[in-house]
Structure 1
């Protein structure tokens, strides 16, 4: 009997803003992304995604503005290149209230979030969603954000990950070690809500972070949220191999993607984990219709509204280069970027000129775009899974809401007919849905070592 086929995972990739990845499409007459600052925009999106059995809504975020292109924010503001931009975390409670299974990957920049308060915010959301929360760990790449936060500028690339390691260690102590299982009794008769002997003070003296105190939240279903990460530089992959449970990669072709996937899985094993302990998602856009010509017509229609220049302005800040200074075919030296190193390395390896970049961004996006009927797109998705070894896709929006509606109504049924997409949700937390191994971090994950052993302690003296 043949083994069951691997199910493809889908995250909807979005941002609490008008423009996200496919720039310029907010001008399309059927697009409603200008309503991003209304509750109904997000609750209707969440219901559409759950109807399509999406695994999660991955909400991107940045701290700062894209001001490298032309040394200004003019194009950024005119084209709404992730500006204006609202907080991603405050959306989740409303969307959780109208769904039962959809997961939420929340981007938060640890460089600007005090760990003690951030730990409480994520525990709170994990409680309110009944364990459907993940955290996309980012360290920042915009100099403008650091300056706006009162710093002198962005710290060196690898140092940002050193700081992240310290930050994660502190969070693990709070989430995993401060409150034991069984600490919360809710015993009305004995007048004991929490057992003091099972709640422990955390004392952390790291290189970057220090604290002494108790985690403010009782344990949530997952304790530690599902850990997402998106860095593909050598230092970013090292960090992912130790911490990440899901990694988002950006690659223009399968060869580039496979090299990243093989490296990530190898390093996970070297870190004492299993190769498949990390779910890997590739960024992609999909434009479909009931037949091939309808999909092509839709793509041609979208292109008339897209803004390649806005895509270029976005990419300028991603690699720290003002492309406005270059002629169309002038060679560009990308150097050792202090922003997104993997993006700069890829552009350098492919000798990307300004002309090539504008052609790549013809739909305003830096991600591969699949255009075709559901059968064609399903073939392509299966090929990425089989040939590259990824687990699923972060699907960027084009025209909203129809891009996600088309996936739910046309592509998902095709994948289900092939046996490569679930037909119902599994019960349980986001972590259990993704891995099928329970709600908590596995025992061999780096964060599990901070769990408190069940032994008697004076809560006033206990430390982790």
Structure 2
């Protein structure tokens, strides 16, 4: 039986996300991103479409690689200004009942003790609908903003990440025993102190000597997302991630990445199916193919090329202001997103230029770019699922709210009619919805389970 695919609405707390300049479109509402109603409406629409989650991207720092300045990103609204993704989740949760929320948070500039409480609090407030997209941060502007002279090297960021994860696992999984919380009004005892334990973590990067501040939340550990697909990133994902977010312009690139992550997960004592893999995709859908083509051309006219170059320069660590528009991009060693640099250079099927990267097309999308009527879009997305092994898609934000409305009203019914998308939400917290055979907590075969109090 063909598997049901999974869908996330891919968004960010900023005027412009994956496609710089679309906030200028006359029908776009992104300028309302600082208002609660914007986020409540987004979540309600995604839940109406039975999406698995709203995946909130984030970048800590400002893109300042292009031209050696932040001016291009700031002037065009290319992920700048950027507000805290944590703060909008309560508005979305109050407006919905089932949909999950994946929050991107950079561990490099956090401390496990306070960080663990923040996620426990949100897991309580949402009834167990919280996930964490684990990122380590790569922008120098973030490091200098936090009082550091430079960014850690690529692989060292993951070494520190492993240390951070050990500390938060201890807090979430091992500090409070099951049954520690009594809430006994008659005896006047809220918690049994004997069942609350001090976490003692003294790693190479992080130190904790304290009990977790929060009582256990519905999931204890939030659902763990991760987006690294470099060699070191895949090891990190295979150990920690329950959901992985990939990009890739060709099915061959994606298929190889999926297979590598699943193989490494098995090597860590997990099952291949313990990881749900979401592929980034851009979809323009309309009732007819002609309408979809016209809509894509309309959107393309509002893409800001300088803003787009500011984004891709930041992601790659390559200053594309030094390139001619039609000059082939050369591989450079980068301390930024290594998989992105490889995908546009050594793994590309043909030479890629800056002009390609600013186009409203598959290369600019860094993944599937699908334009068509519901049947054609469903055909293409399902071919990526069936031929690469991904489980679903993070669907990029385009024009708000019409693009998400179109996905909900046109794509979802088409997938449901084919038996490839759910017709109702499952019960329970986010982890149980994503992994119906498991409970609300990390399974015993996950690395985090080893930190439970026994």
The TM-score with structure 1 as length reference comes to 0.95
Q: Does 1:451 align with 2:452?
A: yes
Matching of residues 107-118 of structure 1 within 5 Å: 107-118=104-115
In structure 2, the residue matched to 1:89 is: 86
In structure 2, the residue matched to 1:169 is: 166
Matching of residues 193-212 of structure 1 within 5 Å: 193-212=190-209
Q: Does 1:396 align with 2:388?
A: no
Distance 1:132 1:173 in 2: 21
Q: Determine helix, strand or coil for the equivalent of 1:263.
A: helix
Distance 2:124 2:313 in 1: 39
Distance 2:45 2:223 in 1: 23
In structure 1, the residue matched to 2:60 is: 63
Matching of residues 286-325 of structure 1 within 5 Å: 286-325=283-322
Q: Determine helix, strand or coil for the equivalent of 2:358.
A: helix
Change (3 A) 1:420 1:294: same
Q: Does 1:254 align with 2:251?
A: yes
Distance 2:327 2:288 in 1: 40
The answer to whether the Cα contact below 8 Å between 1:299 and 1:371 also exists between their aligned partners in 2 is yes
Change (3 A) 1:362 1:439: closer
Distance 2:372 2:97 in 1: 31
Q: Give the drift of 1:78.
A: 1.7
Q: Give the drift of 1:376.
A: 0.4
CA deviations over 1:390-439 (Å, ceiling 9, x no partner): 00100011111001000000100000000000000001000000001110
Structure 2 unaligned spans of 5+: none
Q: Give the drift of 1:321.
A: 1.2
Q: 1:15 aligns with which of 12, 18, 25?
A: 12
The answer to whether the Cα contact below 8 Å between 1:59 and 1:104 also exists between their aligned partners in 2 is yes
Distance 2:3 2:366 in 1: 27
Matching of residues 411-430 of structure 1 within 5 Å: 411-430=411-430
Q: Determine helix, strand or coil for the equivalent of 1:193.
A: strand
Q: Give the drift of 1:23.
A: 1.4
The answer to whether the Cα contact below 8 Å between 1:103 and 1:133 also exists between their aligned partners in 2 is yes
The answer to whether the Cα contact below 8 Å between 1:307 and 1:362 also exists between their aligned partners in 2 is no
Structure 1 unaligned spans of 5+: 454-464
In structure 2, the residue matched to 1:438 is: 439
Q: Give the drift of 1:366.
A: 3.7
Q: Give the drift of 1:113.
A: 1.3
Q: Determine helix, strand or coil for the equivalent of 1:228.
A: strand
In structure 2, the residue matched to 1:187 is: 184
The TM-score with structure 2 as length reference comes to 0.97
The answer to whether the Cα contact below 8 Å between 1:319 and 1:339 also exists between their aligned partners in 2 is yes
The answer to whether the Cα contact below 8 Å between 1:105 and 1:133 also exists between their aligned partners in 2 is yes
CA root-mean-square deviation: 1.3
In structure 2, the residue matched to 1:99 is: 96
Q: Determine helix, strand or coil for the equivalent of 1:428.
A: coil
Q: Give the drift of 1:328.
A: 2.8
Q: Give the drift of 1:362.
A: 8.8
Q: Determine helix, strand or coil for the equivalent of 1:348.
A: coil
The answer to whether the Cα contact below 8 Å between 1:69 and 1:323 also exists between their aligned partners in 2 is yes
Q: 2:155 aligns with which of 151, 154, 158?
A: 158
The answer to whether the Cα contact below 8 Å between 1:308 and 1:364 also exists between their aligned partners in 2 is no
Question: Number of matched residues?
Answer: 450
Distance 1:105 1:170 in 2: 21
